């Protein structure tokens, strides 16, 4: 299977099965903005829930936060986004397409006669690069003037920094401690693409860990290990995950050290999460711009200091895409193509399908009762239309790990068939055991 066709197949499966739709499709779509359908919203919610559980519920030293998307415009001056959150942009005077100046498809130097437009192939038509700020601007209140400008946040982290003292004081945490947040972020990307990999509206799962200066490198290493473990716990193929270290000019202005977790997508190794040692850059800038003291008083050491910050920053949409790419496989079964999403049961949008073999002999009644019982515990899907093999295939494409079939024997001896997505093996268990059996399986996989 050619790699580029994998993305095309995935986009089409996502639409067909209700994972992801293009935004405003009936109007021709909106560039690089996507909507999540019934299965996609469950899959992404499972990703976010697992992150929240690992970060907030399972740890005593991390608190949750949900800050607003709109923030005081000075936040973005302090953070460096107004001055520096820019990409170099070039236009093609001939075909009017726009590119990032560092687009690897551009041959030659933009602005010079030798430069060739990657879209129309014209030579000398690319403009000199100019800087383009990626923040979306809007106006607050009825007057649309420069005094009323506010931004849609390009990252969730700043909401954490400006609330760090509020959280510290109200939760009675002590350093080292962290604040975790999941929320929307917006970037007016010049060259978005690769489906939900790079979009203009996306969700981030960010955690900022506040530590005593001098202990930052040690915490940085711990967080690197924990975050890689978390990605592996989603069932991703370990050989397709790697670290990429930022060095030299790649290192952002705020970072003392930075590593990306990368996944091997069909379009190359790409970042899915960044782990950054930000030092005291953020708090010292907010202290300077707000005029408010943001120091921490360490009672045990009788010391005042600005904490250093270790950040873990992942994209919920990117992790969702990674799961879909990693799970997609095609097999030939008895001369027919079987498309399977081998999703980890813990993230699968539907945990079990329930099927009466035929629509008679009391089978639909038994199956409906079982379905309603199972729904109390986890997400299920009832399907009584078409041949049983087709129903199994539909669930394979949706990534549903288990199928439960009520057949002629169920009435007679109170047993059902459990069908396993990955192996296609079937086993018989007692009807009254199904809920317990599936709950056990899902618990082990959790």
Residue whose CB is less far from ligand ATP, 191 or 287: 191
Q: Which segment (117-125, 265-273, 404-412, 422-430) binds ligand ATP by CB under 6 A?
A: 265-273
Q: Would you say 244 or 377 has its CB closer to ligand ATP?
A: 244
Site string for ligand ATP, 293-332 (x = CB under 6 A): --------------------xxx-xx--------------
Instruction: Tell me if 231 contacts ligand ATP by CB under 6 A.
Output: no
Nearer to ligand ATP, 272 or 370 (CB): 272
Tell me how far CA of residue 41 lies from CA of 69, 331, 332, in angstroms: 21, 27, 30
**Least CB distance to ligand ATP at residue 327 (A):** 18
| Nearest Cα to Cα of residue 370 among 330, 322, 338, 406 | 406
Q: Binder to ligand ATP among 40, 176, 235, 274 (CB under 6 A)?
A: 274
What element of type H or E holds 441?
Answer: helix 434-445
Percent helix / strand / coil, the chain, rounded to 5: 35, 30, 35
When binding is defined by CB under 6 A, the residue of 199, 312, 400, 410 that contacts ligand ATP is: 199
Token couple for 70: 């709109």
Nearer to ligand ATP, 17 or 81 (CB): 81
Q: Does 272 bind ligand ATP (CB under 6 A)?
A: yes
| Long-range CB contacts (within 8 A, 24+) of 377-380 | 377/435, 377/438, 377/439, 378/351, 378/352, 378/438, 378/439, 378/442, 379/42, 379/349, 379/350, 379/351, 380/350, 380/351, 380/352, 380/353, 380/354
Residue with smaller CB distance to ligand ATP, 189 or 384: 189
User: In this structure, what token pair is assigned to residue 329?
Assistant: 């496989």
Query: Is 195 a residue that touches ligand ATP (CB under 6 A)?
Result: no
Rounded to whole angstroms, the Cα distance separating 303 from 297 reads: 6
Between the CA of residue 439 and those of 47, 109, 378, 379, what are the distances in Å? 19, 60, 8, 11
Minimum distance, C-beta of residue 428 to ligand ATP, in the bound complex (Å): 44
State which residue, 185 or 388, has the beta carbon closest to ligand ATP: 185
Bridge partners (DSSP) listed for residue 39 = none
Least separation, in Å, of the C-beta of 419 and ligand ATP?
A: 35
Given 63, 216, 273, 396, the residue binding ligand ATP (CB under 6 A): 273
Residue nearest to ligand ATP (CB): 315
In 97-246, beta strands by DSSP E: 98-100, 130-133, 136-139, 149-152, 177-186, 201-211, 241-245
Any contact of residue 204 with ligand ATP (CB under 6 A)? yes
Which residue in this structure is represented by tokens 């996944």? 263
CB of 275 to ligand ATP, least distance (A): 9
- 227 part of the interface to ligand ATP, by CB under 6 A: no
**DSSP string spanning 80-101?**
THHHH-EEEEEEBTTT--EEET
Please pick, from the candidates 49, 103, 271, 397, the single residue that binds ligand ATP as defined by CB under 6 A: 271
d(CA 119, CA 68): 39
Q: Find the binder of ligand ATP among 187, 227, 393, 419 (CB under 6 A).
A: 187
CA angle 220, 222, 226 (to 5 degrees): 115
Please report how close the Cβ of residue 187 comes to ligand ATP at its closest, in angstroms: 5
Binding to ligand ATP, residues 88-147 (CB under 6 A)? none
Binding residue count for ligand ATP, defined by CB under 6 A: 16
Binding pattern to ligand ATP, positions 155-184, x when CB under 6 A?
Answer: x-----------------------------
Q: How far apart are CA 358 and CA 339, in angstroms?
A: 24
Are 439 and 377 in contact by the 8 Å Cβ rule? The answer is yes
Q: For tokens 């990693």, name the residue.
A: 326
Chain positions contacting ligand ATP, by CB under 6 A? 155, 187, 189, 198-199, 202, 204, 271-274, 313-315, 317-318
């Amino acid at each position: 299977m050619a790699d580029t066709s994998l993305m095309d197949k995935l986009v089409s499966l996502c639409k067909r099965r209700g994972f992801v739709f293009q935004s405003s499709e009936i109007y021709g779509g909106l560039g690089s903005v996507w909507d999540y359908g019934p299965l996609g919203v469950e899959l992404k919610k499972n990703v976010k829930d697992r992150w929240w559980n690992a970060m907030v519920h399972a740890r005593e030293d991390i608190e949750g936060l949900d800050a607003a998307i709109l923030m005081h415009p000075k936040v973005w001056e302090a953070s460096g986004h107004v001055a520096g959150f820019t990409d170099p942009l070039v236009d093609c005077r001939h075909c009017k397409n726009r590119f990032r100046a560092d687009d690897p498809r551009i041959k030659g130097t933009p602005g010079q006669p030798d430069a060739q437009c990657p879209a129309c192939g014209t030579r000398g038509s690319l403009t000199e690069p100019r800087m383009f700020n990626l923040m979306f601007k809007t106006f607050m209140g009825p007057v649309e003037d420069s005094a009323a400008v506010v931004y849609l946040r390009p990252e969730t982290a700043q909401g954490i920094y400006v609330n760090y003292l509020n959280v510290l004081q109200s939760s009675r945490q002590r350093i080292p401690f962290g604040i975790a947040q999941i929320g929307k972020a917006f970037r007016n990307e010049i060259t978005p693409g690769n489906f939900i990999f790079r979009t203009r509206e996306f969700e981030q799962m960010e955690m900022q860990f506040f530590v005593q200066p001098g202990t930052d490198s040690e915490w940085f290493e711990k967080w690197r290990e924990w975050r890689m473990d978390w990605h592996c716990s989603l069932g991703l193929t370990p050989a397709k995950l790697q670290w990429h270290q930022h060095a030299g000019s790649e290192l952002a202005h705020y970072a003392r050290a930075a590593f990306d977790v990368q996944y091997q997508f069909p379009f190359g190794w790409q970042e899915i999460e960044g782990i950054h040692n930000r030092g005291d850059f953020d708090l010292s800038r907010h202290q300077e711009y707000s005029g408010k003291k943001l120091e921490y008083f360490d009672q045990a050491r009788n010391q005042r200091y600005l904490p250093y910050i270790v950040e873990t920053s992942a994209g919920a949409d990117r992790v969702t895409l990674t799961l879909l790419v990693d799970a997609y496989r095609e097999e030939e079964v008895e001369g027919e193509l079987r498309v399977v999403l081998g999703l980890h049961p813990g993230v699968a949008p539907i945990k079990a399908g329930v099927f009466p073999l035929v629509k008679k002999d009391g089978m639909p009644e038994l199956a409906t009762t079982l379905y309603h019982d199972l729904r109390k515990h986890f997400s299920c899907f009832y399907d009584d239309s078409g041949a049983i093999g087709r129903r199994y295939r539909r669930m394979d494409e949706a990534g549903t790990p288990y199928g439960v079939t009520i057949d002629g024997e169920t009435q007679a001896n109170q047993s059902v068939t459990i069908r396993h997505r990955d192996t296609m093996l079937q086993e018989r268990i007692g009807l009254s055991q199904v809920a317990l059996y599936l709950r056990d399986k899902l618990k082990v996989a959790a």
